[in-house]
Structure 1
Amino acid sequence: MGAVIGDLLPLAVGVAISPIPIIAVILMLLAPRAGGTSAGFLVGWLVGIAGATTLFLLLAGFLDLDSSAAPSATASWIKLGLGALLLLLAAGQWRSRPQPGEQPTLPKWMTAIDRFTAGRAAGLGVLLAAVNPKNLLMCVAAGTTIAGGSLPAGQTVGSVVVFTVLAASTVAVPVVGYAIGRKRMAGPLESLHTWLTAHNGAVMATLLLVIGVVLIGKGLGGLL
């Protein structure tokens, strides 16, 4: 299980440092109904990550991914493909980043976050985790990695839980911190929101590049 967790760590970090969900939860924490919407978003985020990872884990079970001696050719090709897709996404993120002096733009739906209910926030969390292409690719890679580990059922579930908790940690921390000391969180949240908005493209491009290279390396290692 240790080797599988090691392979999951960079994927979990890739999801965890994704700026858009962090910005979204910060905006919710600065809105009038902060407690309910942020908690709903966190629940949806956890469900989306765990659900997508489990789905692709089950799908991988129908393929030749469970060799205990060495990574299967199928798993290696999947990792190569995912790595290549992540590199393409990294290039797109880098090209679309705001130039010096240019005002960064965020998705239009973010302007309506202060009117979200807890239910809508939960739905948004699921969508950003399980439908957003960048995070979905991480969950696909995580499910494939766990399936390729040939773990017992208990350890398989444990691996999904560990990946989900680590991937959701950057959303969970501000939500829990706000619940404990909301007055002290306002200033740091504003500063973090400003920084992430300005550097969203560069952060995501760097993350996608690193993780894409890691997956391509693991895919090539399984084929050679």
Structure 2
Amino acid sequence: MSEGREVDMGNVIGDIVPAAFGVSISPIPLVMLLILLFTERARVNSVAFLLGWLAGVTVLLVIAVFVGSTLDGGDSSPNGWANLVLGALFVLLAVNSFRTRPRRDRPDKKPVWMSKLDTIGPLAAFGLSAVLTGINAKNTPIIIASALTIGSAGLPPGQTVIAAVVFVLVASSTALVIVLAFLLFGEKVEPALQRLRSWLEHNNAYVMMFLFGFLGVSALSNALQAFT
């Protein structure tokens, strides 16, 4: 944030919500969740997976918010450099996603882990979700950068908590909607969930390419604002 810009909770939330949506669209964890919905222990495993998603985002966010709170809120340099590095990283990842995308004329190779999900229990579902959601090339830098934005804004403690809760809920919104739809409507939504799973499996590279590109442009724009 540039010096002289009035910092309030609305500004901070406006800065972090687009990034939180980027976290919410995580194809591999979402495919895992959708596979778990068609196993014998679908209800308990899906709830455990959702709780793991929430925990993975929350733990990393809280740690980074604490670090961000030690920074000088009037100095725009840390956020500016963080967004500059983050933007460059995402642009490179977008290019890599495009270069390594699967060819249409080649059959899809299913990862080995997909066949193992039928046998896992709720504890494993929780752990896998927490790790895969919080620690990966896309989500980890997004969560850290957003946490630094929250922590260094100089908000009162109550507003800092609200901003963090908003980020976690938005970042978990896709998993939350899927699990709630399954628990509330069961078989009625199963065909739609099957179609979503198939689409994500076949278009993972393109989804990631678009997301990395969007997040890269957004981070570079935030860096420019911080330095001007």
Under TM normalisation by the shorter chain, which class is it? over 0.9
Would you say 1:185 and 2:189 are equivalent positions?
yes
Structure 1: how far apart are the matches of 2:194 and 2:112? 19
Which residue does 2:208 correspond to in 1?
Answer: 204
Which residue does 1:167 correspond to in 2?
Answer: 171
* Deviating 4+ runs (over 4 angstroms): none
Q: How many residues are matched?
A: 220
Which residue does 1:37 correspond to in 2?
Answer: 45
Q: What is the CA-CA distance between 1:174 and the residue it aligns to?
A: 1.2
> Which of 87, 90, 96 is 1:86 aligned to?
90
* Deviations 1:109-146 (CA, angstroms, capped at 9, x unpaired): 22211111000000011101221121111101210111
* Deviations 1:71-90 (CA, angstroms, capped at 9, x unpaired): 61111111111111111222
Q: What is the CA-CA distance between 1:4 and the residue it aligns to?
A: 0.7
Structure 2: how far apart are the matches of 1:151 and 1:105? 48
Partner amino acid for 1:158?
I
Unaligned runs of 5+ in 2: 1-8
Which residue does 1:9 correspond to in 2?
Answer: 17
Q: What is the CA-CA distance between 1:100 and the residue it aligns to?
A: 1.5
Structure 2: how far apart are the matches of 1:5 and 1:44? 23
Structure 1: how far apart are the matches of 2:105 and 2:21? 30
Q: What is the CA-CA distance between 1:197 and the residue it aligns to?
A: 0.6
> Which of 41, 62, 67 is 1:59 aligned to?
67
Q: What is the CA-CA distance between 1:173 and the residue it aligns to?
A: 0.9
Structure 1: how far apart are the matches of 2:138 and 2:23? 8
Residues 68 and 149 in structure 2, CA contact (< 8 A), matched pair in contact too: no
Which residue does 1:76 correspond to in 2?
Answer: 80
Partner amino acid for 1:47?
A
* Deviations 1:143-175 (CA, angstroms, capped at 9, x unpaired): 011123221101111111101101101011111
Structure 2: how far apart are the matches of 1:122 and 1:3? 33
How high is the TM-score relative to the length of structure 2? 0.92
Which residue does 1:98 correspond to in 2?
Answer: 102
Partner amino acid for 2:180?
V
Structure 2: how far apart are the matches of 1:128 and 1:81? 22
CA separation of 1:82 and 1:107: change in aligned 2, threshold 3 A:
farther
How high is the TM-score relative to the length of structure 1? 0.93
SS of the equivalent of 1:170 reads helix
Structure 1: how far apart are the matches of 2:182 and 2:220? 39
Q: What is the CA-CA distance between 1:99 and the residue it aligns to?
A: 1.4
The sequence identity of aligned pairs, in percent, is: 36
Structure 2: how far apart are the matches of 1:107 and 1:139? 27
CA separation of 1:87 and 1:180: change in aligned 2, threshold 3 A:
same
SS of the equivalent of 1:181 reads helix
Partner amino acid for 2:103?
Q
